[in-house]
Amino acid sequence: MITIPRLIVITLLGIVTIYGTLWMLPSKEIRYMPDDELRAYALSHGLAAVPTTYKALLKVTDNPQNPLSPAKIALGKKLFFDPILSRDKTISCATCHILEEGGDDNLPTAIGFHGRANPKHLNSPTVLNAALAKRQFWDGRAGDVEEQAGGPMQAPFEMNITPDLAVERVAAVPAYAEAFGKIFGGEGNRSVTFENIRKAIGAYERTLLTRSAYDRFLEGDNNAIGAAAKRGLNLFIQKGCKGCHTGMSVGGQSLQHFPLRRALADIFKTDPFAFPNTGGFLGKNGEKKFRVPILRNITKTAPYFHNGEVKELKEAIRIMSKYQIGKEFTPKQIADVEAFLKTLEGEIVSYDLNLTSGAMLDGINLRGSDLSHRDLHEVSFRDADLRNCNFFGTDLHGANLTHAKVAGADFTAADLSYASLSYVDLSRTDLIETKLEQVNLVNAVWRDGKVCGAGSFGKCL
């Protein structure tokens, strides 16, 4: 007859045997691929380079519910750095998201209003490349940067402001009120809403993408990264790191269980992590599910993990290999992966719109932008959103504005000669002293609501 003590001993021996057997299983052999094959493999497994142009940016980060425009991005940037969005006017978004320091604050836990620390001792995630992520915050509770932007403003231990107070302060600044009106529409201060404040900040954050040597390698430059980094990328892909740290952002796409595995020495350990769980946070719904961190610029965002308990990148790599992959990397493998991660350290891309003569800007959103006194002759603005734009004194001769939205636009003293304004509603635009010689007005709507037909130039004017 098996006694209870003997049963306990047998059970413990079984557990030890299982863990020991799993730990000793041979790992998959790494095949170090030549450069072109490694690149093709990386690209085919979800990794991708950050775009270099504004048009390419729109394909990657534009939000249909919050269309990007240069004016909205500029407004969001001002708000991002403005402390009036905190109760005591001492903290801005940029306080905890220092763009020059990796997009975070390099503290174990965020410090906010009156020196208050995050009650769960949570580390500030980076804002850089966050727009590429499908999950925001450590528990993934927000779906995009617009939604995320409203959280810290209202948190009592961060910026500690109410939506009503934020709106009141922003609306009281004439330059802000005017900009919101032009960009979001509406008279007076009615366009200044908490939702629109979030949208403006989110629009700016959607441009905070970084490029590095890693991007250049993905685009074909074999000399962009060194031999150790290439070995590290091979390990990163073939050992399974890329399964969670994927996408253009190299992370942020999903929630994952952490730690996924437990080592033999951890059988009797009550703490679930390989480091002290300061703050007691256990992820979404307490299920140890965390948003996968973005690895771009990881070399600049120490300390690591949700509560900032790990200070060194090498130790973070060791922990992840042991508890997520199930096979602890050797010191050489850790050094190689670190070399790869260093190639992800990049600079913020300057996404300047190509506003020059002859540019093809069909369908572009420029709502509320100041485009006065520019040389934009023969630019194509077909189907563009030009509402509330300022074109005072701008050279637009020969430009194509067919089907463009121009309500509220100011073309005072602009040169629109030989331009195409076909299918454009001009009934709510300023055309004072505007040059309109030989302008194409087929099916354009004039001031009195008259529709200009083919060959009607002169009759409408």
Q: Is the C-alpha dihedral spanning 6, 12, 18, 20 positive or negative?
A: negative
For residue 259, is the peptide bond before it cis, meaning its omega torsion is within 30 degrees of 0? yes
- The Cα–Cα gap between 401 and 422 comes to 7
What dihedral do alpha carbons 129, 130, 131, 132 form, nearest 10°? 70
Write down how long the chain is.
461
- The Cα–Cα gap between 219 and 216 comes to 5
* Bridge partner list, 452: 444
DSSP 307-327: T--B--HHHHHHHHIIIIISS
Q: How far is CA 261 from the centre of its chain?
A: 31
309 given a catalytic annotation: no
- The Cα–Cα gap between 307 and 282 comes to 10
Closest CA to 391 of 409, 379, 404: 409
- The Cα–Cα gap between 429 and 229 comes to 57
Catalytic residue, from 158, 205, 309, 338: name it.
158
User: Which positions are catalytic?
Assistant: 158
